[in-house]
Structure 1
Amino acid sequence: MCPHYILYYWSKQREEVAQKVCDKMFNFYVETLESLVPDIAERNEPIVRCLRQIIALICYIDSNEIKVEHYEFHLKTIDLVLHVLTSADNLFVRKDRRNKLFSKGLSQILLRYINAKHAGHVQFNTYRILAVLMNETDIKTLTKPRKITALFKTFFEKLIDDPYRQLRLRSTLICLKTLAQHGEIKHEMVAQDVLPLLIRCATEPKFDVVQRQKYSLGLLWTMTFNDEAATILKENQKFMAHVKLLLRSDEQDLRKVADGIMWKLDKKAQFMAKQERDQSVIQVLASSTYKYDITIKIYVVKYEISL
């Protein structure tokens, strides 16, 4: 089946069809790339277009478990894509392939693309990949938090109501959760009004509870560590009611996220208040006991003197 047809087959079954075809054809596609990519600079436009469509289709296999027979081909794909990036100057990544990417210096290669002019898609996808590759310390070194947040908001608004691009929405939520470890990005997400979009994704029935809501809730849990965001979420009655319902979910991951959110927004304050009350009681009791002990000692001394 033609990759071009699948990529532009705009229906709810598009992602499912793409996954199945890619699973069957993945090794063949990689072999095709392997034969054409080394001389990509000399290829004409139709060949380059075909390569682009094959690479786009390969991305769909990442939503499935990687089969043993595909593993070596995934490593080859990394090399081939890096070759395109470095020679032409012109992948949402699993943990077991990150070391390969790090050893190839992909982060440094990608940093060239974050300032690409008039290429919002290039910048957006660059930050998505960097979010997967970078650790928390690296994330906090990223500059231009306002620009990063604006980019993600723009594409988030396009994806949230598009029923045919829900895989992209899910991966965007995961990447944004990583980027939100940056305190300034948290601040910008509040300032640029990103929270209402996340709340929609976390509460609206049209979003699959496990595949979509879980990731938006995870991101909102991260946002509760920003005081302003925590206040906004706590005052949203619909959101709080939804999270409380999830405390009884059959899905363990959902219960864990819901409990984490409730702890930050409600239970922690109650716990701290109780701790303060208990401490006050202890201090009062200690003070009363001290006075009582002094009274007894004075009485005993007076009694002994009178004897």
Structure 2
Amino acid sequence: MDNIIIELNRDKVKNDVTIVQQIVSSISFRIKNDQAFYQAKLIDHQLFLFIRDYYLDILRQWRIGQVLDPISSQIFTQIAILFAELCFNAADDDVDQLKQLLIHESFINEIRTCLKDIATNGKHLQDQQVEAIDYILRSIHYLQKGRKDIQSIPMLSKLLDSVVDCVCSNYFLDMFKQIAELEKFNEAQTFLLDTCTNYISWHNGDHYNDTCIAVRTALLNSFNSWFQNQLLSFHKLSRITIKVIGQLCITLIGGNANDEEVFPQSIREGYCTMIDQISSILNTIMKSETIDEITKDLIRVLAQNLYSLTMTNDLRTYIKNKNIVQLLLKLANIEDETIQFHIYRILASIMTEEDMKTLQNSTKIANVFLRFLINLIDDSSRIPRFHNLLRSLKILVQHDQIKEELTKQGILSLLLRCVTESKFDPIKVRLSALNILLALTFNDNAACQLKDNPQFISNLKMFLNSHSEPQFQRVAENLLWKLEKEEAAITKSNETSTISDITMKKYDIMLSYSHTDKDLCYRIHDRLIKDNFL
């Protein structure tokens, strides 16, 4: 490779596009077929900088409207595909070298200028060479996927804004309106509908909420209008169309809303319309005699979307009022683990605690959630789904049989990792896992295992004495009481008290509850009165 660089530094060779194409083709071939060459870690070699700059020169020519000769056109796309393959197959040891290669100011700025041309006037969308932009965008996506430190680089935050502008443009919308009729995408459709939506759907950095707001403001009403027209013809949608719907809706809905969040009225109405449409299609599907694989693809997307719409109290109440629990239970019988995962998460969000206790198939529910937890706990590219899985588990573990099954299947070791490893979010992971463990202590088997874990007990005492977050202290205190003091307290009470002594005591009780749970709270109040506690 050193000799190649020496030759390329001669102007005559450098300007010979045939020689450059041969070099790019040779490197691409060896990376695909020669494991020793790929493992040699040559990405920081000067030759790759030359190839990047050669691509940049062609990109500038193409962007300003110069007609590329046939060989330059081929090299333009070949280099983009080469970089995409390098980033797709990159190990952690390769990341820094690839960052130096691709996250380069003049390189990123030129790509952003191209994207601006596409978003504002549709330039390049009639040109097959847009594929060379497509693969470069994929390269950067592969490099930053699951790596928030890279996503947070200011240069790439600006690039994200440019991609969002493309998705929010009239050119995207016009193209999307034709998507139902497409079995296969051309280069422009692949770039705008697939690659751009995929790029933003995997982005979970600092700009996540801003991206969701921009996309839903621009597209929600138009998406719902288009989707309304598919209610009777959804069975004609192709796999690629379903894929794009899923990618777009991840950002269109978003998944980081909190319980108390209230959306602007127009957005709320749009989400309620989407809930109605999803329910209608799922209901129609379940009336059919058979469910083929493409229909399962659609159910996965719709079920994930419906779960994402359970994030706020307001929308959860809207979904509850649609009385779709029986429909969801039928969907949970489809032999597809991803569908079951989404459906059980929805049920966990909208069912009352009493209804939850009537759920059948506790073994299957535990199996599904445990497998997803195993797959997600170390997957840095799916952090939001990991957080939401724990959110659902906090509710599901109120079910005694699910407690028992999760404990038997070994969930405690995974939850202890969530609590003790500093890489996890303190609230969305560590506190959630503590709450799940607290619920599991009401299972004798789980409680015994935790009592026999001195390291966990020590961590709880540390949380209690040193953690500044009151929620941590409260849960740690409750766990310590369950694991260390409850048995002694019950024994002492049995020794010193009689039933008549207990019934004569007066109790002060405060019930704290969400307004959406007031019916449950009233039932608790009535039962306490019936048992002479109040």
Give the TM-score normalised by structure 2: 0.48
User: Hey, what's the Cα distance between the residues in 2 that align with 1:193 and 1:83?
Assistant: 38
Q: 1:199/1:7 Cα in 2 relative to 1: closer, same or farther (>3 Å)? A: farther
Q: Does 1:99 align with 2:99?
A: no
In structure 2, the residue matched to 1:36 is 226
1:27 and 2:245 aligned: no
Give yes or no for the alignment of 1:134 onto 2:357: no
Higher relative contact order (CA 8 A, sep 6+): 1
Match of 1:75 among 272, 283, 286: 272
Cα deviation per residue 1:211-262 (whole Å; 9 max; x = unaligned)? 2101011000000001110110111122111111111321111111111111
Alpha carbons of 1:17 and 1:87: their partners in 2 closer, same or farther (altered >3 Å)? Answer: farther
5+ long unaligned stretches in structure 1: 281-307
What amino acid does structure 1 have at the position aligned with 2:343? T
Are the structure 2 counterparts of residues 188 and 7 from structure 1 closer, same or farther at C-alpha, using a change threshold of 3 Å?
farther
How big is the shift at 1:55? 1.9
> In structure 2, what is the equivalent of residue 257 of structure 1?
475
Residue 249 of structure 2 is aligned to residue 55 of structure 1? yes
Residue 21 of structure 1 deviates from its aligned partner by 1.0
Corresponding letter in the other structure for 1:250: S
Asked whether the 8 Å contact 2:464–2:477 carries over to 1, the reply is yes
Residues 4 and 238 (structure 1 numbering): CA distance in 2 closer, same or farther, change over 3 Å?
farther
Would the alpha carbon gap of residues 232 and 205 (structure 1) be closer, same or farther in structure 2, given more than 3 Å must change?
Answer: same
Is residue 198–residue 247 contact of structure 2 (8 Å, CA) maintained in 1?
no
Residues 239 and 278 (structure 1 numbering): CA distance in 2 closer, same or farther, change over 3 Å? same
Asked if the contact 1:15–1:164 (Cα under 8 Å) also holds between the matched residues in 2, the reply is no
> Deviation at 1:19?
2.9
Instruction: Give 1:125's aligned residue.
Output: 342
1:68 deviates by 3.0
SS in 1 for 2:348: helix
| Residues 171-195 of structure 1: CA deviation (Å, up to 9, x unaligned) | 1112112111111111111111111
Query: What residue in structure 2 maps to residue 229 of structure 1?
Result: 446
Q: Contact 1:145–1:185 at 8 Å: present in 2 too?
A: yes
Listed one character per residue, the Cα deviations across residues 234-292 of structure 1 (whole Å, up to 9, x for unaligned) are 11122111111111321111111111111111122343355466669xxxxxxxxxxxx
Closer, same or farther: CA 267–35 of 1 in aligned 2, 3 Å: same
Distance across 2 between alignment mates of 1:165 and 1:180? 23
Farther-moved stretch of structure 1 (153-162 vs 269-278)? 269-278
Question: What is the alpha-carbon distance in structure 1 between the residues aligned to residue 284 and residue 220 of structure 2?
Answer: 18
How far, CA to CA, are the matches of 2:349 and 2:338 in structure 1?
17
Closer, same or farther: CA 222–121 of 1 in aligned 2, 3 Å: same
CA distance in 2, matches of 1:212, 1:6: 30
Query: Is structure 2 residue 360 aligned with structure 1 residue 163?
Result: no
On the 8 A contact 1:37/1:83 being kept in 2, the answer is: no
Q: 1:179 — aligned with what?
A: 396
Moved more, 179-188 or 263-272: 263-272
Aligned to 1:85: 282
Alignment of 1:272 with 2:490, yes or no, is yes
Aligned length: 279
Say if 1:244 and 1:258, in contact at 8 Å, map to a contact too.
Answer: yes
CA contact (8 A) 2:418 2:429 kept: yes
1:228 partner SS: helix
The aligned counterpart of 1:209 is 426
Structure 2: how far apart are the matches of 1:130 and 1:34?
A: 24
Superposed CA deviations along residues 91-136 of structure 1, whole A, max 9, x for unmatched, are 241222222112212212211211112x210011111110111111
Q: 1:123 is aligned with what amino acid? A: Q
Residue 14 of structure 1 aligns to a residue whose secondary structure is coil
Counterpart-to-counterpart distance in 1, 2:418 and 2:482: 20
Residue type of the partner of 1:99? Answer: T
1-structure distance, mates of 2:201, 2:461: 34
Aligned-partner Cα distance in 1 for 2:196–2:477: 41
Q: 2:463, 2:476 within 8 Å by CA — same for their partners in 1?
A: yes
Normalising by structure 1, we get a TM-score of: 0.81
The 1:62–1:208 alpha-carbon spacing in structure 2 relative to 1, beyond 3 Å, is closer
The residue type paired with residue 281 of structure 2 is: V
Please give the per-residue CA displacement for 1:64-83, whole angstroms capped at 9, x wherever unaligned. Answer: 54443533333223223223
Over aligned residues, Cα RMSD in angstroms?
Answer: 2.6
CA distance in 2: counterparts of 1:236 and 1:6, whole angstroms: 48
In structure 2, how many angstroms separate the alpha carbons of the residues matched to 1:137 and 1:148? 17
| Structure 1 counterpart of 2:460, one-letter code | V
Separation (CA, whole Å) in 2 of partners of 1:188 and 1:61: 28
Contact 1:75 1:100 in 2 (8 A): yes
- Shift of the alpha carbon at 1:30? 1.8
Identity %: 30
Structure 2 residue runs of 5 or longer lacking an equivalent are: 1-163, 168-192, 287-294, 296-306, 499-534
Are the structure 2 counterparts of residues 163 and 10 from structure 1 closer, same or farther at C-alpha, using a change threshold of 3 Å? farther
Residue of structure 2 in register with 1:296 after alignment: none
